Amino acid sequence: MNRTPSQTVGPYYAIGLCRREEHVLDPDGIELAGKLLDGRGEPIEDGMVEAWDATGRRWGRSGTSPDGSFLFRVPRNCDVLEAFVFSRGLLRHQRTRIYLRDVEDDVLAGLSPEQQATLQAVPVDDGLRFDIRLQGERQTVFFAH
């Protein structure tokens, strides 16, 4: 049997992003904002980030803006989100975690302090900030599928 190789994804995410506000996991939650950045620190304007709250069984999706920014409204009582990153140049989406508060778990315990920092959202004003760097200095830790 012949298999077809993976193809590069996008940039056509807007087709599925204009139906409803998919970035809201919890309407009463807090804002989680960030930027999707390439290896040079340049914004990726046509990417997509999906977030999954396994505890509350909530899912959200946010396309990136021309400045690479994405936005979610996440539950206040959530500790960690699973995140999936889709972008041009990726043959497969990337999987990471977003820690919304300080917690101790086996995943973080297996990482260096520098790697742990790439998974931790930072409190800002009335919300949280989390940037995703696909490569380079301070690259976000990604996990196998």
What pLDDT digit, counting tens, does each position of 11-50 carry? 544 545 444 478 999 999 999 999 999 989 999 999 999 9
Torsion angle, CA of 119/59/47/86, rounded to 10 degrees? 80
What distance in Å separates the CA atoms of residue 93 and residue 85, rounded to the nearest whole number? 5
- Report whether pLDDT(105) > 80: yes
Strands 30-37 and 127-129: parallel
Answer yes or no: is pLDDT of 2 > 90: no
Answer for the pair 140, 134: CB distance below 8 angstroms, yes or no: yes
**Average pLDDT over every residue of 79-100:** 92
Q: Which residue has the higher pLDDT, 82 or 20?
A: 82
Give residue 18's pLDDT. Answer: 46
Amino acid at position 29, single letter: G
For the residues 62-82, what does the mean pLDDT come to?
96
What average pLDDT is seen over the chain?
Answer: 88
- Mean pLDDT value of segment 76-98: 92
Write the DSSP symbol of residue 43. B
pLDDT value of residue 115: 97
Residues 45, 66 contacting (CB under 8 angstroms): yes
In this predicted model, what pLDDT tens digit does every residue of 121-142 receive, in sequence order? Answer: 999 998 999 999 999 989 999 9
Query: Model pTM?
Result: 0.84
Backbone angles phi, psi at 14, to 5 degrees: -60, -25
For the chain, domains (ranges, CATH) are: 14-133 (2.60.130.10)
